[in-house]
Structure formats: structure tokens, C-alpha cells
Amino acid sequence: MRGLEEILVPSPAVGEGLVWPALFGREAPVEMEIGSGKGGFLLRQARAHPERDYFGLEWANKYFRFAADRMARWGVTNVRLMRADARHLMLHHVPVDSLSALHIYHPDPWPKKRHHKRRLFQPDFVAAAIAALRPGARWAIQTDHAEYAEAIRDVTADRPELEPIDYDDPEYGTVDERTETNFETKYLREGRAIYRMAYRRRG
């Protein structure tokens, strides 16, 4: 079983950018999932695409540790996990033009109006995320919260760098509009509506 020290990576220091080849030990396309939860999506994709590298961010410590243990048990070599604030990391540490895909499934909706400022999808985050994507890279987003879905569309749909594309893409883990994350499975079982959108960064 791979050691957790290979999978878990510390947050970068102030002013320090992430260097993907240093983290993964090779040059390869990098996909990021923000809110990787128990790691089901990352594990499935990492096993299906050993030629790609996968970087997961998760703030909830119990899910973060569960996902790391899961990756170690399966012995995947192309996943790294970090416990860090996604907005801060994207704004200050993720290199520009470095991601081949960005996955954000069921971000915290912070439903109370007074908490909306805590939401991940703010104009500065969206601008930084677009900058981090390579030309042609895919950005897939999913939420079960209708009002947040509209807010996400409002802050992404008018960006000239983003071209709306089909949500389904088996190469990136979505078949019949299913990504099969834990939250998606749970919410569909409860009968909730799921709101999905996907973009490609224009070259």
C-alpha cells in the first residue's frame, strides 16, 4: 500500500506557487477537483486515466482523511490531496494555463443571504479559475441548489473566455449526466433536482 505521505501534500507557503511536476514527479495533464469529498470521483478517474494526474482539494478533515486512505488502499500513483481553502489557493497559488480540467461538484451553497459572500463562486475566483485553465480545458460544475445554480451561471455565462459545452463527456467522468459523486448519489436518491453546466476555455 502506498504511504499517505506520497498522497497528502501540505498547503504552499505565502508567495509559493504549486509546481505540478514536483508534486507528481512527472510531466502530465493535471485535473483538479474542488471538494473531492470521499474521493470516489478522483479514484475512478485516476484508475481510468493513469496518463493524467489528479489533484483534489477537500476542507472537511474526516472526508480528506477518508479519501487519502482510499487512494492508498488502491495504490494509485497519480492522485495528490490537499486540505486548503479553495478560493485562496486558486487566487494565489495555482499556476496560470496549467489545468486540463476543473471539476466542482456540489460546492457549499451557503443558502442564507447574509452568508452569500462565503460562496466559492465570486467574480475573483472565477477569473482566477479561468486563468488557471489551459486553452481548451474543461470546467464542469454541478449543484443541487437552484438559486446557487443561477448565481453560478450569472458569474460564468458572460465570461468571453468560456464557451458552454455539453455536460456529458465520458473522457472526463460524466456519462448520462452522472458523475457519481457521493453527494450526487445521495441527492438523486432523495429526489432532488441537479443543476449542471460545463464550459471550455477558449484559446
Which positions are catalytic? 108
- Distance of alpha carbon 127 from alpha carbon 139, whole angstroms: 13
- Distance of alpha carbon 73 from alpha carbon 68, whole angstroms: 9
Cβ partners under 8 Å of residue 130, min gap 6: 159, 161, 162, 201
Q: Beta partners for 30?
A: 53
Beta strand 99-105 with 133-143 is: parallel
DSSP 139: E
Which one, of 114, 157, 129, lies nearest residue 34 by Cα?
129
Written as nine digits, the cell of 169 is: 463527456
